């Protein structure tokens, strides 16, 4: 619960700072740069170093990849019919196709399933969500922000993406024990991600701009909070025949609100920042109403 209070406090602080004009109009860009280059890489290096992969969890790790692929197909199919711009379509793919499997997901797993199931959430987050963001996510951001699908440009953006570099470093350092000072430093830097990201979202959150974004916002939130988890539940139920505890936790993670990291990447690439901010702010808020319902449904399956 403390994590959730912190998230909302930081979101409101960002809104308050903007309203009081204590931060420049583009102040969020500096926060986003720090998050992408410092906070997120530190968090990835620290958490990947501690994960232990088991073959039985491969289906759980596959969930974010399946959801992102479903989101790309869904929003691309609707973009022409609903006359979404390239920027809006890319924004929905990144904010609607990635779940907040860590800062919201882990506390919610503990609350609805118990602390023992949080290890599943960590693996989904680090080897699923963040790896998707570092590869497919940055590819989508590049294509929809520049209008170019040049393979060379996409590969360059992926290779130079700090979180992916951090993943590579983390895997290479897994056999080695971190000295205490390094672990403490990485933790302190990693702990800044959620507060800074929510302050950044709050700085950009403009409800007065929601009027022209209602269709895109309803489409994105409907997919993220309802449609995507429902489709994945049918897929996993069809493949496995029955749902075990680990699979229920996996599908519960799929029902989380939009991921903060994906939103930051979308904003950095100029993909409809007002829509992205609303997707995160409203999506996380609404998820506290939809998650108890998903928990009940999943425990009945």
Per residue in 82-107, pLDDT (tens digit) is 999 999 999 999 999 999 888 788 87
- Separation CA 56–CA 48 (nearest Å): 18
Is residue 207's pLDDT more than 80?
no
Q: Residue 191's pLDDT is what?
A: 85
For range 203-226, the mean pLDDT: 86
Is residue 132's pLDDT more than 90?
yes
Q: Residue 67's pLDDT is what?
A: 97
Q: Residue 140's pLDDT is what?
A: 93
CB distance 258 to 98 below 8 Å: yes
pLDDT band of residue 241 (cuts 50, 70, 90) is confident
For range 26-41, the mean pLDDT: 87
Delineate the domains of the chain, giving CATH numbers in brackets: 2-204+212-300 (1.20.1530.20)
Q: What percent of the chain has pLDDT over 90?
A: 42
Q: pTM value?
A: 0.85
CB distance 194 to 10 below 8 Å: yes
Output the six-digit token pair for 208.
Answer: 């007065």
For range 271-280, the mean pLDDT: 92
Q: What percent of the chain has pLDDT over 70?
A: 95
Per residue in 51-87, pLDDT (tens digit) is 776 766 789 999 999 999 999 999 999 998 999 999 9
Q: Residue 243's pLDDT is what?
A: 82
Q: Residue 210's pLDDT is what?
A: 67
Highest mean pLDDT among 38-47, 170-179, 216-225: 216-225
For range 221-250, the mean pLDDT: 93
- Separation CA 274–CA 251 (nearest Å): 28
Q: Residue 271's pLDDT is what?
A: 94
């Amino acid at each position: 619960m403390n994590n959730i209070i912190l998230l909302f406090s930081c979101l409101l602080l960002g809104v308050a700072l903007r309203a009081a004009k204590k931060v420049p109009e583009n102040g969020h860009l500096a926060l986003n740069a720090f998050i992408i280059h410092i906070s997120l890489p530190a968090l990835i290096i620290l958490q990947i170093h501690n994960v232990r992969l088991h073959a039985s969890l491969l289906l759980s790790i596959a969930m974010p990849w399946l959801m992102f692929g479903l989101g790309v197909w869904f929003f691309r199919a609707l973009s022409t019919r609903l006359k979404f711009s390239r920027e809006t379509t890319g924004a929905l793919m990144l904010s609607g196709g990635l779940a907040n499997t860590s800062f919201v997901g882990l506390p919610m797993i503990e609350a609805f399933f118990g602390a023992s199931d949080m290890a599943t959430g960590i693996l989904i987050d680090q080897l699923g969500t963040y790896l998707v963001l570092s590869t497919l996510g940055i590819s989508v951001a590049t294509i929809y922000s520049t209008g170019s699908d040049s393979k060379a440009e996409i590969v360059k953006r992926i290779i130079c993406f700090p979180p992916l570099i951090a993943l590579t470093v983390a895997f290479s350092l897994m056999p080695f024990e971190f000295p205490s000072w390094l672990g403490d430093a990485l933790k302190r830097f990693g702990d800044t991600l959620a507060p800074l990201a929510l302050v950044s979202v709050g700085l950009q959150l403009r409800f007065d701009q929601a009027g022209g974004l209602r269709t895109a916002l309803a489409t994105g939130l409907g997919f993220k909070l309802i449609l995507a988890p429902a489709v994945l539940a049918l897929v996993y139920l069809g493949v496995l025949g029955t749902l075990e505890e680990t699979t229920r936790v996996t599908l519960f993670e799929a029902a989380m609100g939009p991921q903060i990291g994906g939103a930051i990447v979308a904003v950095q690439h100029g993909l409809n920042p007002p829509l992205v901010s609303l997707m995160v702010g409203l999506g996380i808020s609404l998820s506290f109403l939809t998650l108890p319902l998903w928990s009940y449904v999943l425990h009945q399956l």
